[in-house]
Structure 1
Amino acid sequence: MPRNPRNQIYPANEDLPAARGGGPLVRLWRARTELLLAAVLGLAGTLLVRAAGDGHLLPLALTAGAISVPAATRAGRGWIAAHYWCVVSRHRLQRVCLETTMHTRAGRIPLILWITPTATGEKALILTRAGISAEEFEAYSEEIAAACWARSASVYRHRARAQFVVVEVVRRDETPGAAGPGLDRLFGRRAWVPLRPDLKEPPDLRRPREPALIG
């Protein structure tokens, strides 16, 4: 029995191999953010312990200030929360691909090249595998939203390079100052085509409006 019959792209009677999470290098790449953070914290902790053992208190004071100042400000807490949800959404998107048919017959899932905060959630740039298209991501948009604990998910395909897909996760009302650099720097403002007819270009990929003339 297919897990999701309405979007099943493989024959129901075909004996497909189970989707796999990838080899050791792939798993390390997917956990790069957590590994890098753990390495930085471990190195900083080692240096602080050595400094404290030598009687140098200035590094301890500088570290305490560097941690407490961002945590005490609204902008700092917002930046931390926005990037935390980027990590969560990246892993949840990978899980959706593993649990649905958004993987190849060999069990390989699409690559999440980049994920960045937006004013309403997160936006991921994805490189699809052979046999997977943007239309399949759109078919599973409800599963993506549920997996990411979000309100909704929108899918956009690159106008000239169909292997590139943008998945926009919307989890809250617009939050000023939470948006990242945007994907328009990679491919241009008019490069993305929405998969749903009721959508337009993503908000941060639209051209700025011309000022109205008075008089």
Structure 2
Amino acid sequence: MSKSTSRSPFGWSNRGGNAVTVIEAPVARSYRRRATIAFWVILGVVGLLAATVASHYLHPIVGAVLGGVIGAACGAVAFALIVAWPVLRVFWHWLTEILLGLVAVYGWTWVMQSTPMWGSLLTVVLVVGLPAAIGPVRRRILALTWCLIVRHRLRMCFAAFIATNRSGSLPLILLARPTPAGERVWVWLRPGLSLRDLEQEGQVQKLAVACWANEVRVIRASRRYAALIRVDITRREPLAATIVSPLPDYVPTDVPANAPTSQGMPPVGLDLPDVPDEPVTTTADTPRPRMPRNNPTTTTSPTDGFDPSDYA
């Protein structure tokens, strides 16, 4: 809430002088500057091309005027789109929620006009109650809802405490889909921001806190484009849950007493009677077996290491 005496094109003011700013003033000035540059560039390029084409069919003066009008019209459209883009971007970020709200409002209105009251209530119970009662459908809807929430939370993180470029452009949140552990989001970084800025321990912990998650991991999602990264959000440990094995259900319970069984497991240790219990001690007179030399530079033969005197 900031006090201001001037009225901003993207804000509202009351009699007390307090203004609620929808778009920040530096961002609005930056987009107005871009819009002005785009207007003059489009006016010159499109107007010149349109005047050249129109001069072949009309008088050169009339063609030049017509080309200037066409160029000014195209430049005005581009100017309006660029100036209004900060507001249009907000609508784009909330497009899914807006569409769902429109479907809910107009769908309820259509049901009320087409059916009696009891039919409308029954339709609502079936549309809302059945997905809530069926476990897999309910969990799938909750997972998709978390994907929508995570997109807004990540966008808030980039705008709040993660560095952006000089113009204040935020990264593009491309796609979010549910995973067994949480959500996976693909993000396209703008110039001025790299993966190393997000891999810091403090930033990752802040992302986990902002997304209401247990852990957040940021990795590169493409070998070709360094700007494409992937954010894995972990909310639960699917491998830590207890899983009931169905194998005991396949074991028959009516096994006869004389049923053949396996011989059992082989013995783990060896108990050979020929092996003495006491360790064998060697003396100086005990002949030692000669082992062939393992020299890779020489070629060994079957007679290497054989001494005839050992058998004399």
Shorter chain as normaliser: what TM range?
A: 0.5 to 0.7
Question: Is the 2:112–2:120 contact (alpha carbons within 8 Å) kept by the matching residues of 1?
Answer: no
Distance 1:65 1:95, change over 3 A: same
Determine if the alignment matches structure 1 residue 35 to structure 2 residue 91.
Answer: no
* Distance (Å, rounded) in 2 between the aligned partners of 1:66 and 1:101: 41
* Distance (Å, rounded) in 2 between the aligned partners of 1:51 and 1:57: 12
Gaps in structure 1 of 5+ consecutive residues = 1-16, 176-215
Which of 205, 213, 223 aligns to 1:159? It is 223
Query: CA-atom RMSD, angstroms?
Result: 2.3
* Distance (Å, rounded) in 2 between the aligned partners of 1:149 and 1:34: 20
Which of 141, 162, 170 aligns to 2:234? It is 170
Tell me which structure has the larger Cα radius of gyration. 2
* Distance (Å, rounded) in 2 between the aligned partners of 1:110 and 1:148: 17
Greater RCO, 1 or 2 (C-alpha within 8 Å, sep 6+): 1
Q: Quote how far apart the aligned CAs of 1:174 are.
A: 1.8
Gaps in structure 2 of 5+ consecutive residues = 1-24, 29-84, 240-312
Distance 1:147 1:107, change over 3 A: same
| 1:130-141 equivalence runs, <5 A | 130-139=191-200, 140-141=203-204
Determine if the alignment matches structure 1 residue 46 to structure 2 residue 109.
Answer: yes
TM-score by length of 2: 0.46
Percentage of pairs with the same residue: 30
Question: Is the 1:134–1:156 contact (alpha carbons within 8 Å) kept by the matching residues of 2?
Answer: yes
* Distance (Å, rounded) in 2 between the aligned partners of 1:88 and 1:108: 21
Q: Quote how far apart the aligned CAs of 1:62 are.
A: 4.2
Amino acid in structure 2 at the alignment position of 1:26: R
Determine if the alignment matches structure 1 residue 98 to structure 2 residue 98.
Answer: no
* Distance (Å, rounded) in 1 between the aligned partners of 2:140 and 2:163: 31
Structure with more helix by fraction: 2
Question: Is the 1:126–1:164 contact (alpha carbons within 8 Å) kept by the matching residues of 2?
Answer: yes
Determine if the alignment matches structure 1 residue 116 to structure 2 residue 180.
Answer: no
Aligned residues: 156
Q: Quote how far apart the aligned CAs of 1:19 are.
A: 7.8
Question: Is the 1:19–1:103 contact (alpha carbons within 8 Å) kept by the matching residues of 2?
Answer: no
